Structure 1
Amino acid sequence: MSVHTYWIVDIDATAGEAPALADKVRQWLVEQEIIQPGIVTERTVFHAGEGDVGPFVCPHCGATHFDLPWSPPTEAWYEGEGDSSLGCPACGTSSSIAEWQSGWAYGHLGFGFVEGRMLDKLRDELAALTGHRLRVVHEHL
């Protein structure tokens, strides 16, 4: 049996902000009568499980790439040490792997849901509540 989790990830929240924002969002979810099984408030790579990480979209030029060396910068970002940058073959700029758009998200705050209905609307509501950029990751195990 496979398990699906839909993560809405705050890619702007710092480690220091994550607990207070989690409480704020948790309170809103309770007020809206939306069941929330748990909130992640630590440095996490929210991945797709059995799904693929790519394609990657450059945060500078918008070029899409399907085969980039994502593992070393992902490990560096997760450990909080070393170089987490990924270079764009199209424009030559480098950015943290966390800034690249892909099937994964990197953050200190994530909200997990077992149902994917209304995720886009919920993402927009939580973005308005936190004032941060949010990404949706579909984890399939």
Structure 2
Amino acid sequence: MEMYAAVVDREVSAEEAPKLADEVRSWLLMRQVISGEQFEIFEGDPLWAYRPGSNVKRLLGPSPDMLRGVRIVTGRTAFSSTAGHFLFCPVCRYTFEPDEEDAIDALADWQAGGNAGPVSCPDCYLTQPITEWDGDWAYGNLGIEFHGWPDLPYFFVRELTRLLAHETAVACGVAR
């Protein structure tokens, strides 16, 4: 298992995501966060990533040997978290984990291209689509996954968010 941190654009449309992904790729190359070289990140699995660039040590400090690569993911994707699937209610500030079956049902239509299903806060009963809750998971049409990297510096996430020009979320999870 391998850890990743993903910066996810929560607002970009499916149609705009590939163009914005190209801009992100160019920005990461220009900053030498990635090299232009791609590789299969998981042997035998057709998922491709960019190798870390020459500026990574300056960005992250002494970098561990665990740094693997950066994947730029387009298409509707739920980026999971190792912390669970906790949601934070903006009304009553209650933190809860939805029933697993309810969460799967709420995501099914969204992942197929439709609208996300509703989830309700068990404390105040606020109901909204699962993709609109603040929480440990992130949902979107564009995500930048940093595999095997330590915590991403705040300033780096902020700069990436400025480039995307949309609301972002960060999810930290385990890849395959």
Q: What are the superposed Cα offsets for residues 114-136 of structure 1, whole Å, 9 maximum, x if unpaired? A: 21343432221111111111111
Equivalent residue, structure 2, for 1:118: 152
Residue identity in the other structure for 2:162: A
Residue identity in the other structure for 1:31: M
Unaligned 5+ runs, structure 1? none
Whether 1:39 and 2:67 are equivalent positions in the alignment is no
When the two structures are aligned, how many residues end up with a matched partner?
138
Superposed displacement of residue 46, structure 1: 1.0
Q: Which consecutive aligned stretches of 4+ in structure 1 deviate over 4 angstroms post-superposition?
A: none
Superposed displacement of residue 14, structure 1: 0.9
Equivalent residue, structure 2, for 1:100: 133
Give the structure-1-normalised TM-score.
0.84
Structure showing greater Rg: 2
Equivalent residue, structure 2, for 1:30: 29
2:7–2:171 CA contact under 8 A, matched in 1: yes
Equivalent residue, structure 1, for 2:3: 4
Superposed displacement of residue 82, structure 1: 5.9
Query: Which structure's residues are more often strand, by fraction?
Result: 2
Question: Do the aligned partners of residues 126 and 82 (structure 1) sit closer, same or farther apart at CA in structure 2, a change above 3 Å counting?
Answer: closer
Question: Do the aligned partners of residues 80 and 59 (structure 1) sit closer, same or farther apart at CA in structure 2, a change above 3 Å counting?
Answer: farther
Q: Which has the higher contact order (CA 8 A, sep 6+)?
A: 1
- Structural RMSD (CA): 2.0
Matches within 5 A, 1:84-99: 84-99=117-132
Percent identity for Structure 1 against Structure 2: 32
